[in-house]
Structure 1
Amino acid sequence: MRSLKKYIYPTLSDRVYEILGENYFLILYPVLLFFIIAEKYLNIISFDGLVYFTLLLLRRKLVYLDFHFKKISIIFWTITLLLSGLSFSFFKQANYLYMTKAYVECNVLDIKEYSLVYRYKGYATFMMKSHESIKDDFTVIENLVGKIDSYEIGEENKYRVILKNNQEVDIKFNNYNQFTLFSLDVD
């Protein structure tokens, strides 16, 4: 009776699949990829959408996945919400994918001095490996913003940096044991 229930009361995804077949996946998948590429940033919602649509497509192909689709979807959404919540509560960053990528690039593999964690409308947060002094931090930041003429401390962990070309940049630091997050305005 349980298996007949889905045919008697089809879900929205079942109705869309009946109308469009596999074409809905072939339409939505490139659109989500375009959003990721256009933003130059892996948005967590686009990533979740890609995974969900992949599960919907594979649901029609694999009987095991079709039978356990609801459980797998609930587990996936729970893990996503849990990781996003933990990342936000500890580091004020909801996108745990970029936090993980930046940590691996800067601290584990040592292939970059800094890595993008979050970007939104001219505002960006980067991660770098923790340094002993603030001068070491500013040498890394010079690679990003240009030559620094001087800097002065504003409020707590916030610096006003004056560049050689007389531009001003406000930089906020959040120091942790293994890494430092710094935020600044970007054009």
Structure 2
Amino acid sequence: MERVGAVVRLKTIEKEWEAKGTPLAKPYAKAVLAMLPTTPYVPSRPPVHESINDVTVHPATRQQIFYPTSESRAFNRVDAGKAFDSALLPTDSRVPHPELIKLEKMRLDGYNDTERQRLAAEMFAAEREETLKRERMRRDKEARETKVVKGKRGWDFKFQDISVERVGKDGRSEKGVGWRYGMPHEDRKPGQIKVPRSAW
């Protein structure tokens, strides 16, 4: 899965560079590919490689568990993840590229290549539109909550209302004022609790 993810990310960067007109390192790519073993594509005999839903083994699943469950109910991947750890997501949610699983399920359901490509393009377009919509909402929210005062020397002053309740019980929340500049550790102070409260 790591190799598949790396190839997808590299192809995305390649398409962005081609759209911007950035020159590609073609001789370097040819030299590297000449040193690596490749599988030629033959339509009559497609290559068989590892399946796309292989996922790195989660440490919580390395133990053997005898989990009692009723035979009358369906026990799926979500239930299996919760049996190992209450916060463990199912495999379909942990995989780095869930869109590949959707395409594989379409293939198993009998969709041909043309239909899968069309549905994949629609799925990617909808996902991109949702990402752009979230980004627009974030920018609009930031513009509403931030007051900008033009400076005289070329920089602007930005002011934002902060509530004391937003910094959390211990005052160390990232939503507080000055969080980005850090806060000194108080480990050497007497009376400080060294054990995390989650372990109590």
TM-score by length of 2: 0.31
Q: Which structure's CA Rg is the greater one?
A: 2
Higher helix share: 1
TM-score by length of 1: 0.33
Higher strand share: 1
